[in-house]
Structure formats: C-alpha cells, structure tokens
C-alpha cells in the first residue's frame, strides 16, 4: 500500500471507509483486552511456582552464617541474597541493601528521605524553594508520579536510541543547582526498549552536577530481561564507572525480582556507594527492624545462584518473545510504509513504544478503548501526562494471551489508520 | 530479710559483701545472655513452621474473588487478609489497609507522609516551625526514635496502670496546636504490660485537640498476646469509640503478625477512618503497586480464621508464660520487701518493667552487662534516652531459654541489690 500522505483524497477516503468497516466488525465482538500495563502473564507466573516449594516445614530456615531468618534483625538483607542479587545487578554484595517487595517503594523512599533529611548532610529538599528532576521522555509513568507527588519540577529530556540527550543533560545539571536527580531506565527502557550506549553511561558517570546532592536514579528494572540469547544488550556497570570517574556517590541503582519471580512477592534492592549506604542505613534503621528474610531465603533456595536465575529468564523469554513478535508482525503487516507511525523493536524488557503522527495518540487510545482494548493512557509516558506532540503510546504485549494479543494489535493498527486518515483528510 | 533502708550500716555492709561475692561467682561463669529485645524464642518460631506448608506449587494462589496473588495489584490488601486481620484488630475489613512485613514501617511512613504532605489537607509538618508529640513514658524506644529522627519535639507524659496521665494529655493537646500526635501502646504496654482502662480509652476518643491534624498513633502491638486464658485484658475499640465521640478521624491504629507468626515475615496493617484511608491511599499508590499478597494469602490459609489465630496464640502463651513467671518468681524471692525496686506483673505482651531506686538503673544495666547479661539500655524507654530519675529498666523474658533466663534474672537481682546497697551506704 502507498503511504497515506501520497494518496489522493479519494484514495484516502476509500481507505478510511475500509478501515472503519473493519473497526465496526471489531466493535461487534465485544472485546475486553488489556495491553496497558507491564504485567507478566499466567504462564510466566507459573514458571516460579517451584519457589513455593523451596521452603517447607521440614527445611531449616537459617542462613549460612547461622542467622535464623524467622526472627527479627538483619537490616540490610541476608548475605546469600546479597550475593545472588549482587550477581544479578553486577555489583558487590557489599554495595547492596535488600529491601521488601517493591523497587518502586525503594525509589519513593529515596526521594522522601531526601525531602525530609537531605542527602549526605545537604539541605533537606523540603527546605529548598525549588527542586527539579530531569525526566527522559517518554519514560516510566510511575517514576514521574513520585516526583510529581513531591512537588518536584520535572523537565523532559528527549530520549534517543542511545539514551537521554546527554548534551542537554550535561548542560542542565552543570548549571542548575536545583536539579537534584534524573530518572533512568538504562536497559530495555520503559517504554522504548532502548539500551543506553557505552558513551551515554560514560557521560553519566562523568557528570559534573552543580548540586552536591544530585543523584542519578538508575532503575535497572530489566537488567537480565532479554528476549533473545543473541543480541542481548550489555551496558557498562554504572557504580563501577562512577567510581572510576571519581564520582562514587553519584548514583542510586535499583532492581527487583518483580518480573523474575512474582510481582508483589519478589525482593527489591538498592546498590550504591559506601557513603550513600551509610547515609541510607541511618534512616532505614529508624523505619524498620528489617525486611522479609524468609522471602529472601526462598529466592536464594529456589534459584541456587545466578546461573539458575539466568536459565529461568530464558523460560520467561520463551513465553513472551512470541508476543513481542506477534505485535511487531502485525504492525509491519498493517502499518509499514504508510508513513503514519513508528515503533521500536526491543530485544528485551516489557514494552514497545509507538509514535503516531502528531496529535493522534490520545484519539487512537480512545478509539481502541471504545472497541474494548485498553492501552496505557496516552500522555502517561510524559511528565504531568503532557505529551507535547500527542504522539506516544506504550504497548505492553506480555499480559494477554497470544490470541487476544493478536486481536488487540490488529484493532490497534486499525485505530491508528482511522485516526491518521481523518487527520490527513482534515488538512486536504 | 529487712528492707535495705531499715538496715544498720553494718547490716547493709554485710549484705553488700554477700551479694558482691555472689556477683563474682556469676562473673566466673562467662555468661552470654540476652534479655534486651522483645524477640520470640526458637520454640515460638517453631509454632509457625506449618505456615511454610500453607502454600506449595500445587496450590492455587488465587483469592476467593479470583485475584491472582502472584501478580501486580491490590494496593490495600486482599479481602480475606483484611477479614482475618480485621477480626484480629476488632475492625471492619473496610477500615483496613494491609501493608508489608513491619508495622513500625507503617508508623514511620505515616509520620513521614505527614511531614511531606500533611494530613487531610493541613499544612505539611515540615513547613511548620515546631511539631511536638506526646510520649507516654516509659515507652517503646523505636517509637521515640522515629519522632526524634524527624526532629519532632517529644514531651514525656507519665504512665499509670490505667494508661497515660489523661489530665495532662487533655490539657496539653487542647492548648498547643504544635502537638500533632501521641504514641500509645494501649494493651500490654511496652514496657510495663499495662492495659489502658475503659475511662482512658473513652477520654482519648473524646480529646479536643487544638490541632486539626492531631492523630493518636495507637500501636496495638499486643492485641491478642495474652499470657493467661483468664485475666485477659479487654479495652474498648478505639476507632468505634472515636466515631461515637464524633471524632472519627482522630486515630491511626497499627498492628501486625510479627509476634504471631515470624517477625520480619508477617503482615502489618493500619486501621483508620474512611477519610484517613482515602488520604493515605493517595500517597500509597505513588509509593508502591502493592504489598506481598502471596504472604497475605499464606497467613490466611495457615490460620483459616481468627479462631485458628487465637488457638495459635495459646501455644505462644504456653511457651512464654513460664518465662514471665520464672522472672517474677526470682524478683519476688530476691527483692520483695527490700524496698529497692518495683516491677510490673503483666498478663500479656512481651515485657516486664522494673523501677530501681533513683539514680540506679544505668549502673544496674552496666553491672549486668559486665557479667555477661545484656539488658535493654537504661534510658532507652524514655524520649531522647533521658530517663530523668534513672530508674527504668525494661526486662524482656521471651528470647532466652528458661534455664538461661533463670540465671539472667538471678544475676539481675544481684546487680540491683549491689547498686542499691552502695547507693544507700553512700548516704549513711
């Protein structure tokens, strides 16, 4: 098919009539499909059912060092969990705190702590007139929700295939002391599936922020979440790079097993420098006596070691790879060459990012919803839900069944075609 | 034996020589005993090992309403956990949020949220010049550690057998808008084991605080932690009383299963009014996607219902009752009538509170430590670790074995006798 922009008015009107007809057929099917959130599907959850057998009443719930995991204590996590998660994060166990079930909670608490107590002796952010964060956009809506909740001004920074626009990042952080942080999803980014280039990581490690309490919030949510054995993304380890650059305290790095075992019942962690750890542990020891060590032990016993976890991630990939491919096949089949949308082709992570023509994203999501397919709300991937060109839609292929997903993707492309055709016709 | 204060100098010198000799015999034994923290002992932890079998890989991890506990979602807890914990707390499931593993964490977050965002639209506490809390003392050190960490001024309020001095509480909160909260352990209080009287609870519910954002932090940590089937403490339910008094939003009530199943691997909860719940859920939904639902389900499946939990608590009582009695027997045998100390006789909870003669508590704890028996640091039960008369020592009988405990209690009474005799002799 020709690109829409090359069609005559008559051709485009014919095309619009055809896809509207298709849309009506879908509406009659009374669909209830959900491509909105990055949730694992049932088959993925089933992969971790063995974890429910890792501990039972005849098993000794003690650590290698003799700690009884059933009792109080061990604020920073049991040693064997630090080793496992350290291997997962490519960090030394000595740089790690194991938390509860949610890395988002760890990030929220990091911002909250900086608000009330400051970072490493600097002024608490709540005492400052203005606190700003850089927000590579499109990005993760729940990151932006945290900074918005704390009244932190969010400055969008364009994302490229290599990561955030580092010229802009360097310029801004070096000049403005009010800029205290940046949200990063460095590998298989949410929503694009981009992985930061070596140069990007290197430039992050060498940042010279005006604010002494500037921190990179490095959410390595998809560190081992590859779709393929070949073509895996490798990025330099940020703590090591910061240390080499003489900036050891520059980064808070987050990860969890939420999309490895069970979301909500995994373990989350923070890796950072000894200075930052000491600062954080002062607060953490006021906040809790310790996190769930039995669940830490359960993870360790289930996986054995990192090779067990890597093998486990292959099984996840086998379940969700066909889903990513089904969506991409559908986009290719129905949209390629039409000049009305672009989309990413991730090698890992949980999302595909779709860019419509300007001013079409909201309407596409709205049309899909009317026909029973729920997408992430348009705009959600931008700070303040404000996508300035109204182009970005996050597509989450993991949760629906393959059959449902094919249907949903098909309908989505129909919505894109209708909205785009209407848009172009309106200018003819 | 006569009271020390009735002894002649010679009699007291003879007594001191005798107990010093006994002390030296203990020192030679190279003890390493711990009566410092309210930790369950191994036998208590063993009682909950069956919980490790409550879920396994062949069990359906879905709620009654079909929610898959393995996946994301359900910010306020699964319904059946709310029912179970609601029965435990004597609150409607509709008034409850189920959190992670630590009620201390829930309390910390409640204070932190009030600091950064205020309560129900009132000014965030971090924007105020002064924030104060009332601290019934002696009290729980970790409560005081939270308010101290946030720079909140702590005002001690005397504790009586019926609860805090309510004349003083009413007077202070009605006059001073800077007073934003009070820490309460209403049943089997930490460290005395006192339970608030009906009148005390009633007067709490009818408080008329100057501050609209004053909240009672009602830490019902030992709600079902009775030592005896008879003589159980009953106190009126505070949410219901507040509602009846026209003060529905006055209280945050906290509880957990930390001392029911496994400390660190239990579930914590908050019960409060619909207005407060709405306020809190706004924040909570920024902080996390949800807490550990699998662990919630594990608790529900293990206990079945509240009657299962009550039966379980009887087994706890059977393990720790002899420990409380051993300590009290020892105190009676070695100290009764000497006029050098007073102690409580709790019917539940985790502690016995000991009052030395003025100016003796620190030295008693120090002497015990030198002989290998660790007690809670003297002063810890008061705000800023400042016990104005240096009299209070918290005794935690649950963790050591009965044999160790007998030894530790014996040594403790010897230390009390030595320090008291020295004190009196110095004034003769």
Quick count: other Cβ atoms within 10 Å of Cβ A361? 27
Residue numbers in B near A287 (CB within 8 A): 104-105, 108-109, 146
Closest CA to A103 of A220, A254, A251, A252: A254
Dmax (CA) of chain A: 78
Closest CA to B158 of B132, B187, B194, B188: B194
Q: What distance in Å separates the CA atoms of residue A222 and residue B86, rounded to the nearest whole number?
A: 37
Q: What distance in Å separates the CA atoms of residue B15 and residue B21, rounded to the nearest whole number?
A: 10
Strands B341-343 and B352-356, by their bridges, are: antiparallel
Backbone angles phi, psi at B257, to 5 degrees: -100, 20
Bond preceding residue B371 cis, omega within 30 of 0: no
Contacts with A, B 145-204, CB within 8 Å: 145-146, 149-150
Residue numbers in B near A61 (CB within 8 A): 52
Residue linked to tokens 């393929």 = A228
Facing residue for B126 by CB, picked from A104, A126, A142: A126
Residues B382, B372 contacting (CB under 8 angstroms): no
Predicted pLDDT of residue B374:
96
Q: Is the pLDDT of residue A147 over 90?
A: yes
Rg of chain A over all Cα atoms, to the nearest angstrom: 23
Residue linked to tokens 């430039």 = A203
**A406 and chain B in contact, CB less than 8 A:** no
Reported residue count of chain B is: 428
- What CA–CA distances, in Å, run from A83 to A75, A79, A87, A89? 16, 6, 6, 10
Across the interface, do B146 and A286 touch by the CB < 8 Å criterion?
yes
pLDDT (tens digit, 9 = 90+) per residue, A153-202?
999 999 999 999 999 999 999 999 999 999 999 999 999 999 999 999 99
Predicted pLDDT of residue A166:
98
- Is residue B67 classed exposed, middle or buried when 0-12, 13-18 and 19+ CB atoms within 10 A define those classes? middle
Across the interface, do A49 and B68 touch by the CB < 8 Å criterion?
no
Residue linked to tokens 């924007």 = B127
Q: To the nearest whole angstrom, how far is the Cα of A306 from the nearest Cα of chain B?
A: 22
Quick count: other Cβ atoms within 10 Å of Cβ A32? 9
- What CA–CA distances, in Å, run from A123 to A119, A142, B128? 7, 26, 16
In this prediction, residue A262 has a pLDDT band, given cuts at 50, 70 and 90, of very high
Q: What distance in Å separates the CA atoms of residue B19 and residue B17, rounded to the nearest whole number?
A: 6
Strands B251-256 and B215-219, by their bridges, are: parallel
Secondary structure E strands in B250-360: 251-256, 268-271, 341-343, 352-356
Closest CA to B304 of B42, B90, B88: B88
Contacts with A, B 194-253, CB within 8 Å: none
Q: What distance in Å separates the CA atoms of residue B256 and residue B219, rounded to the nearest whole number?
A: 9
Predicted pLDDT of residue A405:
96
Mutate to test the interface with B, among A71, A110, A267 (most CBs of B within 10 A): A71
Task: Give the pair of three-digit tokens for residue B189.
Answer: 């209080």
Closest CA to B242 of B275, B267, B210, B269: B275
Task: Return per-residue pLDDT of chain B as tens, 428 residues.
Answer: 899 999 999 999 999 999 999 999 999 999 999 999 899 999 999 999 999 999 999 999 999 999 999 999 999 999 999 999 999 999 999 999 999 999 999 999 999 999 999 999 999 999 999 999 999 999 999 999 999 999 999 999 999 999 999 999 999 999 999 999 999 999 999 999 999 999 999 999 999 999 999 999 999 999 999 999 988 999 999 999 999 999 999 999 999 999 999 999 999 999 999 999 999 999 999 999 999 999 999 999 999 999 999 999 999 999 999 999 999 999 999 999 999 999 999 999 999 999 999 999 999 999 999 999 999 999 999 999 999 999 999 999 999 999 999 999 999 999 999 999 999 999 99
Q: What distance in Å separates the CA atoms of residue B375 and residue A254, rounded to the nearest whole number?
A: 38
- What CA–CA distances, in Å, run from B33 to A248, B30, B189, B418? 41, 10, 24, 20
pLDDT (tens digit, 9 = 90+) per residue, A117-139?
999 999 999 999 999 999 999 99
Residue numbers in A near B52 (CB within 8 A): 55-57, 59, 61
Q: Helix B306-335 and helix B79-89: axis angle, to 10°?
A: 40
| Dihedral angle of Cα B13, B14, B20, B22, to the nearest 10 degrees | -160
- In degrees, rounded to 5, the angle at the alpha carbon of residue A412 between the alpha carbons of residues A406 and A415 is 145
Across the interface, do B291 and A264 touch by the CB < 8 Å criterion?
yes
Strands A179-184 and A215-219, by their bridges, are: parallel
**A281 and chain B in contact, CB less than 8 A:** no
Predicted pLDDT of residue B385:
97
The mean pLDDT value for A360-384 works out to 97
Predicted pLDDT of residue A230:
86
Contacts with A, B 24-63, CB within 8 Å: 37, 39-40, 42, 45, 48-50, 52-53, 55-57, 59, 61
Task: Give the pair of three-digit tokens for residue A372.
Answer: 């029973």
Across the interface, do A40 and B286 touch by the CB < 8 Å criterion?
no
Task: Give the pair of three-digit tokens for residue B272.
Answer: 């409060």
Element (H, E) at A421: helix A402-427
- What CA–CA distances, in Å, run from B287 to A190, B97, B164, B253? 18, 14, 34, 20
pLDDT (tens digit, 9 = 90+) per residue, A391-416?
999 999 999 999 999 999 999 999 99
Residues B402, B326 contacting (CB under 8 angstroms): yes
Residues paired with A253 in a beta bridge? A218, A271
Q: To the nearest whole angstrom, how far is the Cα of A307 from the nearest Cα of chain B?
A: 22
Facing residue for A288 by CB, picked from B45, B71, B105: B105
Residue numbers in B near A105 (CB within 8 A): 287-288
* Predicted TM-score of the model (pTM): 0.97
Predicted pLDDT of residue B1:
81
Angular region, A156: left φ>0, alpha ψ -120 to 50, beta rest = beta
Mutate to test the interface with B, among A42, A54, A99, A105 (most CBs of B within 10 A): A105
Closest CA to A360 of A272, A403, A305, A422: A422
Task: Give the pair of three-digit tokens for residue B340.
Answer: 């050098």
Facing residue for B45 by CB, picked from A56, A68, A288: A68
Predicted pLDDT of residue A105:
98
Element (H, E) at A394: strand A392-395
Sheet with A352-356, edge to edge strand ranges: A341-343, A352-356, A392-395
Q: To the nearest whole angstrom, how far is the Cα of A83 from the nearest Cα of chain B?
A: 20
Q: What distance in Å separates the CA atoms of residue A306 and residue A238, rounded to the nearest whole number?
A: 20
Residue numbers in A near B108 (CB within 8 A): 286-288
Across the interface, do A104 and B264 touch by the CB < 8 Å criterion?
no
Predicted pLDDT of residue B231:
87
Residues B143, B219 contacting (CB under 8 angstroms): yes
Across the interface, do A150 and B116 touch by the CB < 8 Å criterion?
yes
Residues B233, B270 contacting (CB under 8 angstroms): no
Q: Helix B198-205 and helix B166-175: axis angle, to 10°?
A: 10
Residue numbers in B near A141 (CB within 8 A): none
Residue numbers in B near A291 (CB within 8 A): 100-102, 264
Predicted pLDDT of residue A269:
98
Quick count: other Cβ atoms within 10 Å of Cβ A7? 20
DSSP A194-248: ----HHHHHHHHT---SSTT-EEEEE-TTTT-BS-SSS------HHHHHHHTT-T
Facing residue for B72 by CB, picked from A56, A69, A263: A263
- What CA–CA distances, in Å, run from A378 to A189, A345, A390? 18, 20, 7
């Amino acid at each position: 098919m020709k690109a829409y922009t090359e069609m005559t008015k008559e051709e485009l009107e014919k095309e619009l009539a055809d896809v509207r007809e298709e849309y009506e057929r879908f509406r009659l099917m009374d669909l209830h499909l959900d491509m909105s959130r990055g949730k694992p599907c049932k088959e993925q959850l089933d992969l971790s059912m063995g974890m429910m057998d890792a501990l039972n009443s005849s098993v000794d719930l003690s650590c290698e060092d003799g700690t009884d995991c059933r009792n109080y204590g061990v604020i920073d996590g049991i040693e064997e969990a630090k080793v496992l998660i350290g291997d997962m994060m490519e960090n030394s166990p000595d740089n790690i705190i194991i938390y509860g079930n949610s890395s988002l909670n760890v990030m929220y608490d990091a911002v909250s702590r900086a608000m009330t107590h400051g970072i490493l002796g600097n002024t608490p952010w709540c005492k400052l007139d203005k606190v700003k964060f850089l927000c590579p956009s499109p990005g993760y809506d729940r990151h932006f929700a945290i900074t918005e909740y704390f009244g932190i001004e969010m400055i969008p920074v364009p994302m490229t295939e290599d990561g955030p626009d580092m010229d802009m990042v360097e310029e801004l952080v070096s000049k403005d002391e009010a800029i205290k942080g940046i949200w990063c999803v460095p590998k298989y980014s949410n929503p694009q599936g981009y992985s930061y280039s070596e140069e990007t990581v290197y430039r992050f490690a060498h940042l010279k922020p005006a604010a002494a309490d500037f921190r990179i919030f490095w959410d390595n949510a998809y560190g081992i979440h590859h779709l393929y054995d070949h073509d895996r993304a490798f990025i330099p380890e940020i703590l090591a790079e910061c240390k080499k650059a003489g900036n050891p305290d520059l980064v808070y790095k987050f990860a969890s097993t939420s999309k490895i075992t069970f979301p909500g019942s995994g373990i989350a962690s923070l890796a950072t420098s000894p200075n930052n750890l000491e600062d954080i542990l002062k607060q953490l020891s006021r906040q809790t006596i310790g996190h769930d060590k039995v669940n830490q032990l359960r993870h360790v016993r289930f996986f054995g070691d990192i090779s067990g976890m890597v093998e486990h991630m292959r099984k996840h990939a086998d379940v969700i790879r066909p889903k990513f491919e089904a969506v991409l096949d559908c986009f290719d089949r129905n949209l390629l060459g039409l000049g009305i949308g672009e989309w990413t082709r991730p090698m890992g992570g949980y999302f595909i990012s779709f860019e419509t023509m300007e001013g079409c994203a909201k309407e596409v999501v709205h049309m899909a919803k009317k026909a029973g397919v729920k997408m992430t709300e348009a705009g959600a991937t931008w700070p303040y839900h404000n996508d300035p060109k109204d182009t970005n839609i996050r597509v989450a292929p993991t949760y629906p069944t393959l059959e449902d997903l094919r249907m949903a993707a098909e309908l989505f492309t129909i919505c894109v075609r209708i909205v785009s055709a209407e848009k172009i016709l309106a200018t003819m």
